[in-house]
A and B are shown apart, each in its own frame.
Chain A
Amino acid sequence: MIDRVIQKAHLTEFLDHLAGERVVAAPVADGPLTRFRRIHSAAEIAAHYLPTALPPSKYLLPTKEVLLRYRYDHGVSAEAQFDTQEMIAFGVRPCDLHALALLDAIFIDDKHDGHYMARRQHVVLVGIECLSPCDDHCFCESMETLEVHTAYDLLLTDLGEAYYVRIGSAAGKELLKGVDSMREAVYEDRTRLRKAHEARYAAFTPRLETDLSQLPDLLADSSDSLLWDVLGEKCLSCGACTNVCPTCYCFDVKDEVDLGLSSGERYRAWDSCQLEEFAMVGTGESFRQPRNMRVKHRFNRKGRYILERYGMQGCVGCGRCARNCLVGIDPVEVFNQLKGQPVERQERQVMR
């Protein structure tokens, strides 16, 4: 579809109007944090922001979501629950768009998850490209997620006085109909876009010391690394890393019975492989009890297992886990330390 150019003032007018008519969520600042929240005017949107506290995936896979309600007073009856609230998520970063593309691959293409699909159909994603790094923790450039070509309905790039707008879907095109004043992008605009993209790579420094394609092998070879023991001693198993991760999607399904004991609801809630109960079975046995094993599992999920299973990166380099870890566990440091310690690994193998 033909790209567009919108003056910033016109976009603000449009967002003000849109937020008055429809449910619009955008990053809103609160001290050191930004959160995706419903807004009622464009002025509420944070101008510059780090990746939000929780990723926008919370709108597609809520932290707690009722799947069905049931009764068993006169026989058993159950009714599935689907959320079809229409909403627009504005200001989604490329890293989060990559993560949403992964969730789409898992919940739509692979699992045909009705609850996810019902939400996904009703959420319009308006992305904004990053032209400079958020902070020292982000490493999207290393994870090759700085550029994005999927998941968005609209993608905006800041050209100074205007936004360059790429249209990713019919829903995106439909949304643009509400903009009073915009024009089709011409050669000059595309040149400006290309220059902005070229300048971007000077601003983003590669942080990963291993080639991204080598990361799965590096992790596979590091199974016996002593680093996991070191990290296991530090890790608080507080689940901060997985809760803020845009590609984490593990959940637990539970039944809650009403006080009358004749009806209730089945819900799913975010779970974390970092918690002791995650791999616990009915007998009380946990298959991944030691903390170092849980930490190793998380990094393998991020750098290896998801890629092997879905062909997409399991880590999008947003840096949220590192930013939120109270004891400073940072994936870039972990991957780089694994890369730098093959000798230790060999010694350990010899000792056996």
Chain B
Amino acid sequence: MSEAMIEALQTLKRPRVAVFELASCAGCQLQILNCEDELVDLLQLIELAYFKEAMTETSDVYDLALIEGAVTREADEDKLRTIRERAKLVGTLGACAFPVGIPGLKNGHDLEEVARQVYGEHASYFPSVEAKPVDSVIKVDLHIPGCPIHKDEFLRVVTGVLLGRKPPIPGYPVCVECRLKENICAFDRGLICLGPVTRGGCGAICPSYGSRCFGCRGLADDPNLASVENLLEDHGRTREDILAEYALYNGYYALHDGGLKAKVAP
């Protein structure tokens, strides 16, 4: 977080918060509402200005904007620019907003054909573009990652932001917490796993319950993609398999130049 941001925050007594939704399942917004035991305390700290999932009243005056969802329509871009002008701080909620996640699965396919499959003869009513992350359109100050976000992490970020601290989101990979939990490594269970390159902070929840990491929190700060590619190849995966692995949540960066693809390629 920049010094200007910290300064901006410290002047706020009870910041007005707005929560917006683009293409997404609303699951991250629901995670905020799932803070049932903490909502009363939370509302002492912040004032809700706009949160369609939770309340009827609306307002265009807010300090902190939290955006869930991916950009999938041209109109979304104007909406985002307006939000950026009005808010002092902009954060994203969840994998759809960054690094795009599920809405990005259509990218790389014929978008008209995709629209026809989903909306049939009414496809033209729903004009849609390639799914892209919020920060490809406007400057974003912080990302709260995950699919969905975790309510405890959301609360830690909110308190951190109010105190003018760096948002406590780890840069290290999922493996760190997975080892501390003494899980049996997914690779030792005959699976492959994106834990070594995916941002931690989730408590390695998927591997802890017998699954493995799919990369929903985006890449760690310092992923060794080339080495993981070799590792996955050692476990019988082709380059196409590996790109498909990344496509579920990190597809936008896997497809775009200068992003994951450039890093994954030898």
Contacts and interface: CB of A to CB of B under 8 A. Distances in A.
A233 B231 CA distance: 12
Interface stretch (B97-105, B171-179, B236-244): B171-179
B180 A54 contact: yes
Interface string B216-237: 0000011010111011000000
A234 B156 CA distance: 34
B263 to A, nearest CB: 14
B41 A259 contact: yes
Interface stretch (A25-33, A87-95, A192-200): A25-33
B245 to A, nearest CB: 15
A149 B185 CA distance: 34
B179 A244 contact: yes
A238 B173 contact: yes
A326 B180 CA distance: 16
Given A30-B184, A261-B159, A326-B187, A239 B41 contact: no
Interface in B117-161: 155-156, 159-160
B213 to A, nearest CB: 11
Interface stretch (A38-46, A270-278, A304-312): A270-278
Contact of A259 (B45, B173, B196): B45
A302 interface: no
B33 interface: no
A234 B227 CA distance: 5
Interface string A195-222: 0000000000000000000000000000
A35 interface: yes
Contacts of A326: 185, 187, 196, 231
A199 B175 CA distance: 40
A334 interface: no
B182 A32 contact: no
A238 B159 contact: no
Contact of A239 (B155, B179, B184, B231): B179
Contact of A53 (B162, B172, B176, B182): B182
Nearest to B175: A238
Contacts of B231: 236, 326-327
A275 B176 CA distance: 9
Contacts of A324: 179, 185
B56 interface: no
A276 B182 contact: no
Interface residues of B, number: 36
Interface string A311-338: 0000000000000101100000000000
B44 interface: yes
A257 B159 CA distance: 7
A243 interface: yes
Contacts of A33: 182, 184
B52 to A, nearest CB: 24
Which of A259, A260, A327 has the most B CB atoms < 10 Å from its CB?
A259
A240 B175 contact: yes
Contacts of A238: 173, 175-176, 179, 195-196
Contacts of A277: 170-172, 221
A236 B159 contact: no
A259 B172 CA distance: 25
B179 A236 contact: no
A261 B12 CA distance: 14
A272 B184 CA distance: 20
A81 interface: no
Interface residues of A, number: 34
B114 interface: no
Contacts of A254: 168
Contacts of B38: 259
Nearest to B225: A236
Given A32-B188, A257-B159, A261-B45, A54 B176 contact: no
A258 B156 CA distance: 9
Interface string A4-42: 000000000000000000000000001111010000000
A243 B180 contact: yes
A324 B188 CA distance: 10
A169 interface: no
A54 B172 contact: no
A326 B182 CA distance: 15
A237 B45 contact: no
B133 to A, nearest CB: 22
Contacts of A240: 175, 179
A35 B182 CA distance: 7
Interface in A254-270: 254, 256-261, 270
Contacts of B221: 276-277
A223 interface: no
Given A53-B182, A233-B226, A259-B155, 17 more contacts: A33-B182, A35-B182, A53-B179, A54-B179, A233-B227, A234-B227, A236-B196, A236-B227, A238-B196, A257-B159, A258-B159, A259-B41, A259-B42, A261-B162, A276-B172, A291-B224, A326-B231
Interface of A: 30-33, 35, 53-54, 63, 233-240, 243-244, 254, 256-261, 270, 272, 275-277, 291, 324, 326-327
8 contacts: A33-B184, A63-B180, A234-B224, A244-B179, A257-B159, A275-B176, A276-B221, A324-B179
